Chains A and B, each alone.
Chain A
Amino acid sequence: MKWSVGRKIGVGFGLLLVIFVIVGAVSYWSTAQLIAASEARKHSYEVLGTLDETLSLLKDAEIGQRSYLLTGEESYLEPYQAAFGKIDSNIQEVRRLTVDNARQQHRLEALEPIVKNRVAFAKETIDARRTNSFAAAVALVKTGKGKALMDEIRRLIGEMKNEENDLLKQRVEAAQADAQRAKWTIMLGTFAALLLAAVAGFVITRNIARPLQGLTGVAERITLGDLSVNGSTNGRSDEVGELARTFDRMTQSLRTMAGAAEQIAAGDLRSTVKPQSPNDVLGNAFARMTENLREQARQLVEGANVLGSAAGEIVASTTQLASSATESATAVSETTTTVEEVRQTAEVANQKARNVADSAQKAAQISESGRKSAADIGVGMNRIRQQMEAIAESMVRLSEQSQTIGQIIATVEDLAAQSNLLAVNAAIEAAKAGEHGKGFGVVAQEVKSLAEQSRQATNQVRTILSDIQKATTAAVMATEQGSKAVEAGERQTGSAAESIQTLAGNVSEAAQAATQIAASSQQQLVGMEQVAAAMENIKQASTQNVASASQLERAARNIDEMGQQLKQMVAGYKV
């Protein structure tokens, strides 16, 4: 068999398709036959029904006619008239239904005039009854013409019904035969199709699935990396054989790739892999990979060289770093000590600042009391000034009174002088009186001496008064000077009070400043403590730095050794 797999499958499925088409056609034809038979039966039943209805209508007309003839009531004519309306149309319906049957048409040709006659007769009897009398109608009926016509109609309709019943019977039998045939055809066709499908399935499975299973096993092993397998072709030239050969080629190609990879793994980068085709992804990738690997190996060699020298430099740098870290740790330690000293100094300064603030506070209180004292002094000075004014007033009054005393003294002096004059005049008169006036002259002498005494007394008083006035004037002057001194004192007190107030303000400001300084100093102390703590942390960090630097140094030495090893390793690559 040199058929390809596609052809085998196509032939198998084609046979199945032919069988299914035959079975389907037979089924369709039988179904169409059954539908046609059913339509014919329905047609026959319609013809039979219409014929029965026509006969029934004639009977209704007859009954209506007879009832009218008997009673003469017009209402009994209603069925009669209704029947005659429909009879014609029924006969036309039968004619239409039986247009394919010549014998039935023939019988209808015979039936139609008889029915017309029967209708005409009935009309004649009814007219006779309506126009003439009951007896005339009975006479007409008695002729038997109506009955004969009716019998003829019954006979013809009976024939027609028989004809239709025969047709019906024939049609049912034919339909049953068709259905039986279709049943057999479908059963046999289906069985043949099932048999064919089983045979084709078996053959196809035998020819295709088994080799494919073998190839699947091969692919499975290749997937697991085993490239030592071969696809068994069995000399087949169909698609399966082609697939096996292709598998062989693929395995071959993969082996080539594996060999190249083996070479690369051994460090030989000189091999080149030729791609099987422009679409050979793996081959192209291998070619690019070897190219890239060559490039990378070259770069790696350069990098290893650079790394080696850099590692050497790093070792030197880390050595320096370690020594620097040690130095900086020492410096940090010294700085920490210094910061601690500064912190203690700040503490002392803070203490001093607090003392200063307290002192300034006390000074502020003292200056406040000084300010109050200055105000009191001002009040006292004012009182002194008022008293000095009172003294001055008293002195002025005293001066005025001494003036008054002087005036009084002048008056007394005047009186003394007048007394003296009087005494002189009296003495003159006494002298004029001569011897008789001697006694009077003595009296005048006495008066004169009294006047003299009072003049001397007044002179003494004047002298004393003059002293008093001088003293008073001096006192007034002194009082004025005192007043001026008091005023000056008051002014000075005022300025002193102002100065003291300014001083108090300054001292208060100084106290506030001192308090702020104390607060600042406190903050400074806190800051210094934080700095000290930070320096302590820095010191620890520096110690850790020293440790880290020595670790780093060791690590750098390791890196250097690794760089040397890397150089040796890279030297093994053949580029």
Chain B
Amino acid sequence: MLEFRLAQERYAVESRYVQEVHPLKELTPLPCTPPFVVGIVNVRGRIVPVLDLKRFLDLPEKGLTDLHRVILVRGQDFEVGLLADVVVGVRSIPIDSLQPSLPTLTGVRNEYLKGVTAERLVLVDLQRVLSDPRIIVHDEVAV
């Protein structure tokens, strides 16, 4: 899995979804989108929407810099970029060391988290995130 940090907290995603890691460049804000959609980026000719997990997970916001990384992940149907503060690296974790998500976590957080390691590494359940109905943006803007 790929470990990264969001607002001083350690998160991780399974590396089978991960395509590659990119620095945040040439972000184009996209109007008429929910707040967690930051914008779109051009990765080798492909237009990829960028999601901010911090908004998704109700984490404190700090503003965007070039230092942010975009983690390109691929679901069944589409490809998105996840915004990460720092990408720590790839590591292997035994699946059984994974503890279920904390019972204290409720709501959105609990919904998208797969589990927490002993080092308080939070594994994000990408499948759920990406299949979340909110992610499908269907909005018409009255012109």
Contact = CB atoms under 8 A, between A and B. Distances in A.
Contacts of A441: 90
B15 A424 contact: no
A425 B20 CA distance: 5
B67 A424 contact: no
B87 A431 contact: no
A420 interface: yes
Q: Which of A424, A431, A448 has the most CB of B within 10 A?
A: A424
Contact of B89 (A417, A418, A423, A432): A423
Contacts of B89: 423-424, 427, 445, 448
A421 B87 contact: yes
B21 interface: yes
Contact of B90 (A417, A418, A427): A427
Instruction: State which size class the interface on B falls in.
Output: 10 to 19
Contacts of A474: none
Interface in A141-180: none
A88 B45 CA distance: 208
A132 B70 CA distance: 222
A467 to B, nearest CB: 22
A431 B69 CA distance: 20
B90 A431 contact: yes
B22 interface: yes
B21 A421 contact: yes
Nearest to B3: A424
A421 B23 contact: yes
Contacts, number: 36
A423 B16 CA distance: 17
Secondary structure type dominating chain B contacts: strand
A444 B19 CA distance: 16
A438 to B, nearest CB: 11
A424 B23 contact: no
Interface residues of A, number: 16
B18 interface: yes
Contacts of B23: 417-418, 421
Contacts of A432: 15-16
Interface in A351-367: none
A444 B69 CA distance: 18
A420 B87 contact: yes
A533 interface: no
A139 interface: no
A428 interface: yes
Contacts of A431: 15, 90, 92
B38 interface: no
Given A417-B23, A418-B23, A428 B69 contact: no
B22 A428 contact: no
A421 B69 CA distance: 9
B90 A424 contact: yes
Contacts of B16: 432
A368 to B, nearest CB: 70
B50 interface: no
A1 B124 CA distance: 221
Nearest to A423: B89
Contacts of B22: 421
B56 to A, nearest CB: 22
Nearest 7 A/B pairs, CB to CB: A427-B90, A431-B15, A424-B21, A425-B20, A421-B21, A428-B18, A424-B87
29 contacts: A417-B67, A418-B23, A420-B87, A421-B21, A421-B22, A421-B87, A423-B89, A424-B2, A424-B21, A424-B87, A424-B89, A424-B90, A425-B20, A427-B89, A427-B90, A428-B2, A428-B15, A428-B18, A428-B19, A428-B20, A428-B21, A428-B90, A431-B15, A431-B90, A431-B92, A432-B15, A432-B16, A441-B90, A448-B89
Interface of A: 417-418, 420-421, 423-425, 427-428, 430-432, 441, 444-445, 448
